[in-house]
Structure 1
């Protein structure tokens, strides 16, 4: 069963317990520093079919796949003959100045389920995408004249059939669906919470998750109406049609919602007394990274949140793939858990703050001053 008690006694091997004091550093795969062509801060990284892509200050997009010439991107899809001679493990500049060529910072990135298109979002309404197979950039900046800073983005579905959620500092989430021409269609912005700034978004199949700077966590599952739960973590009731919520005294329906796909449920953890910075989700579990080295785990089956102190400093980003979970944060700290171990501190060769992480075929963390560490 999920919802494991993480106390010091009688703990199963797969629990989220912090075992940094028991870890043998020799058991952990080594991380190394990669050379990069920039000293701009890197805020997010995702894995694609062509290798990892990272985004950051000045609208920079880097790739570790030998693509690009560092000066301009190939927007017409033609083959770049020069790339055949590049080292496919080298980090190179793919986009130097953002989707709109305005050098606006890119704060977050998401990738389609097939790994073929990267989406990115950032300051002054910067929003765009990049097809990694055709080397084609798309600029969708300032949709509906929204020029505020986008703080987070999440993507579900394959290239050409993706669904995107992008959020700003005003607590608004914009739904982006793909029409029958493969073009993005924009929905009106909605506030899943109280208007607090959105810290992060995550996608898992049909579901999207939102965490805000007020400790709120919200789920959009495509089958429910908005149900407020006063910040108490518990079972989220699935509603059919117009069936009333199980707690009518606290349930509210978002009158602006014209489609059940826009519905969200508040699954906020009770008394979460730290700022949240990132969220990741699987079929069974949602994890939120926060200040003070805390990771909150939401077990869907039990509707229950469990906090685990992974470290002592802020955790800025989380990634999960194949049962492995990695959290990164201040001063180059990396923490890792697997299905057979609890959380462990991982030795790292950098002291810069890390802002983004991706795991899978490659494990990569990115941060201040263009730092990239790989495993």
Structure 2
């Protein structure tokens, strides 16, 4: 299953709950573009949001995990996989959406069963307690390949669902921090570092640089849908699109764009000061939002989360 197909399936699975939740939020701040501030059960920063087989989940500061239900957003976990309150920075769902993987500070890694509520602590692989920024998974629940990227510049990977003793690592670049990683198929993924590099693997082990020359901005967000379909977002509202042979850069404004999601040519990028850019008909344009809070991540074209527990929906 391709990355874009997986996201579409998981988003569709939560569509009915999403409609109910937005309806329940009538009266909240709403922008002309349809973005609405949803009631949030937390006030700490939410760093990532993902669709699963049980609607959307978000992770954030203090190790919190929240979920959208038909009564609104509810807190599921507090304290992270170890219970020590480590911040959670990245999350990813298995292809079937039944497991949510999340990573964070001090080597935190968790595998959460969204159907049963069971949490497996996979923290500190190979006794590593570095800060992990993002996680990517491919495969079904209980049988996933797992890739974790962090501040050390290393990618830790397991082809056996993160079981103890199955982890290894590779340093794809110069050792600069890796803010984002995403799979686009079995043993196939892209990653970005803070030194202006994008890396690709097609065997899960060997990573090769594919750009970006003279980008001159820090990279933050990554969307990987195939070897010829990659989008990177960064500082100065920069977006870079890869078609398999060349990068096309575009500067949209001033805000740092911390995450980007694309599908079939359309897309959404989110960032500082409540900034959201939308891509339609081959063009990016900024839209109004009802918040000035920094937005850290988005899911699909209808969810964004960020500072002070902000959740935007439409």
| TM-score above 0.5 | yes
TM range (shorter): 0.7 to 0.9
Task: Give me the whole-angstrom Cα distance separating, in 1, the residues matched to 2:152 and 2:37.
Answer: 36
- Choose the corresponding residue for 1:324, options 245, 266, 287: 266
- Taking structure 1 as reference, are residues 185 and 30 closer, same or farther at Cα in structure 2, changes over 3 Å only? farther
Task: Give me the whole-angstrom Cα distance separating, in 2, the residues matched to 1:186 and 1:319.
Answer: 31
- Choose the corresponding residue for 2:246, options 294, 304, 309: 304
Structure 2 counterpart of 1:51:
55
**How far 1:137 sits from its partner (Å)?**
1.0
**TM-score after normalising by structure 2:** 0.86
**How far 1:324 sits from its partner (Å)?**
2.8
Task: Give me the whole-angstrom Cα distance separating, in 1, the residues matched to 2:164 and 2:292.
Answer: 40
- Structure number with greater Rg is 1
- Give 5+ residue unaligned stretches, structure 1: 1-26, 66-87, 223-260
Answer whether contact 1:177 1:184 (CA < 8 A) is retained: no
Task: Give me the whole-angstrom Cα distance separating, in 1, the residues matched to 2:307 and 2:154.
Answer: 27
- Choose the corresponding residue for 1:289, options 213, 216, 233: 233
The alignment status of 1:370 with 2:297, answered yes or no, reads no
Answer whether contact 2:106 2:129 (CA < 8 A) is retained: yes
Deviations 1:8-59 (A, max 9, x none): xxxxxxxxxxxxxxxxxxx975010000111010000001121110000000
Task: Give me the whole-angstrom Cα distance separating, in 1, the residues matched to 2:73 and 2:166.
Answer: 33
The alignment status of 1:157 with 2:150, answered yes or no, reads no
Larger strand share, 1 or 2: 2
- Choose the corresponding residue for 2:184, options 182, 204, 210: 204
Task: Give me the whole-angstrom Cα distance separating, in 2, the residues matched to 1:304 and 1:320.
Answer: 18
Answer whether contact 1:201 1:210 (CA < 8 A) is retained: yes
Task: Give me the whole-angstrom Cα distance separating, in 2, the residues matched to 1:205 and 1:321.
Answer: 15
Task: Give me the whole-angstrom Cα distance separating, in 2, the residues matched to 1:173 and 1:110.
Answer: 15
Structure 1 counterpart of 2:202:
221
How do 1:1-375 and structure 2 match up within 5 A?
29-65=33-69, 88-178=70-160, 183=163, 186-206=166-186, 207-222=188-203, 261-283=204-226, 284-300=228-244, 303-338=245-280, 340-359=281-300, 363-375=302-314
**How far 1:174 sits from its partner (Å)?**
0.5
> 3-state SS of the aligned residue for 1:193?
coil
